């Protein structure tokens, strides 16, 4: 069997979208390996790279090696200015975890986060694809499937583009709004079962990401779920200095399947 790289076949462009890695280097390695075997032309990362997981530095360095465009998530901003987490969250577990993560960062990693952009814009075939962390105007704002069309219009109505891609909520989503595709690849490192309010979310044990294929007028969007090695993941938590590792291990024990 002959495998043809998609970009060489009739101008089809294949893009992988990853988001909300949250310090999960086991899931990142697993997903990048899968992407490498999927004839992908470009990877885009929507941000929230290091915090709330056991391997902040390893995850950051692995992403840096991947050399893809990265968007500035609210948690990436906390690495640049850690005081901002207290404006964002009153949940002690979140604040403690972010502060520990920041304490590990050197000027080299901070410089990497400072290079992240607020949006990424791609024109491929006849389609314009735009990528954000939260909403078009804020990296802390949710765009979710259960929003009313009026609310969605208020958030994205003025944002041009055929495909709008958002992260931040840790929930996979694909909706059509006035003929446009609006989607969220979910979270690579900490996928939620339900929308997060204040209670600790139930997480899935799988990793989430998305593949976009563009060929002329045709756009295919695939929301993927893939299972990293849970034993390896739990070991990475146990071996870490993460201050909330017992809490995280408990989350993995009760992870939705
Ligand atoms: Fe996030």
- Write down the pLDDT at residue 88: 85
Between 91 and 204, residue with greater pLDDT: 204
Is residue 218 domain-resident? yes
- Asked if residue 1 has pLDDT above 70, the reply is no
- Asked if residue 122 has pLDDT above 60, the reply is yes
In a 13 Å sphere around the CA of 157, the CA atoms on its Cβ side amount to 8
How close is the Cα of 94 to the center of ligand 1, in Å?
11
Is residue 75 domain-resident? yes
Is residue 215 domain-resident? yes
Position 11 confidence tier, pLDDT thresholds 50, 70, 90 = low
Q: Angle formed by the axes of helices 25-36 and 230-238, to 10°? A: 140
- Asked if residue 196 has pLDDT above 80, the reply is no
CA distance 173 to 163: 13
- Write down the pLDDT at residue 183: 98
- Enclosing domain of residue 165: 10-253
Is residue 68 domain-resident? yes
Instruction: Give percent of the chain with pLDDT exceeding 70.
Output: 94
Burial of residue 73 (number of CB atoms within 10 Å: 0-12, 13-18, 19+):
buried
- CATH assignment of the domain containing 135: 3.60.21.10
Is residue 35 domain-resident? yes
Is residue 4 domain-resident? no
Q: How many domains does the structure of the chain reveal?
A: 1
How close is the Cα of 67 to the center of ligand 1, in Å?
20
105 neighbors 79 (Cβ within 8 angstroms): yes
Q: Which residues have CB under 8 Å from 45's CB, separation 6+?
A: 17, 18, 19, 21, 63, 66, 68, 69, 70, 71
How close is the Cα of 215 to the center of ligand 1, in Å?
30
How close is the Cα of 123 to the center of ligand 1, in Å?
26
């Amino acid at each position: 069997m002959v495998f043809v790289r998609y970009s060489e076949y009739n101008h089809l462009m294949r893009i992988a979208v990853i988001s909300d890695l949250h310090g999960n280097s086991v899931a990142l390695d697993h997903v990048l390996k899968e992407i490498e075997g999927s004839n992908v032309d470009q990877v885009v990362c929507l941000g929230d790279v290091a915090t709330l997981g056991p391997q902040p530095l390893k995850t950051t360095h692995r992403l840096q090696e991947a050399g893809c465009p990265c968007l500035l998530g609210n948690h990436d901003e906390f690495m640049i200015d850690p005081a901002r987490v207290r404006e964002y969250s009153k949940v002690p577990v979140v604040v403690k975890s972010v502060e520990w993560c920041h304490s590990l960062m050197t000027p080299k990693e901070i410089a990497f986060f400072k290079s992240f952009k607020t949006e990424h814009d791609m024109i491929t075939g006849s389609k314009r694809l735009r990528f954000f962390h939260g909403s078009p105007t804020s990296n802390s704002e949710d765009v979710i499937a259960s929003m009313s069309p009026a609310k969605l219009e208020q958030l994205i109505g003025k944002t041009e583009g055929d495909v709008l891609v958002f992260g931040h909520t840790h929930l996979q989503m694909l909706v059509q709004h006035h003929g446009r595709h609006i989607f969220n690849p979910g979270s690579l490192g900490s996928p939620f079962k339900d929308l997060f309010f204040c209670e600790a979310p139930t997480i899935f044990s799988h990793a989430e990401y998305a593949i976009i294929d563009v060929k002329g007028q045709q756009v295919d969007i695939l929301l993927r779920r893939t299972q990293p090695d849970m034993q390896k993941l739990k070991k990475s938590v146990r071996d870490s200095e993460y201050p909330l590792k017992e809490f995280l291990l408990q989350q993995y024990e009760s992870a939705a399947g």
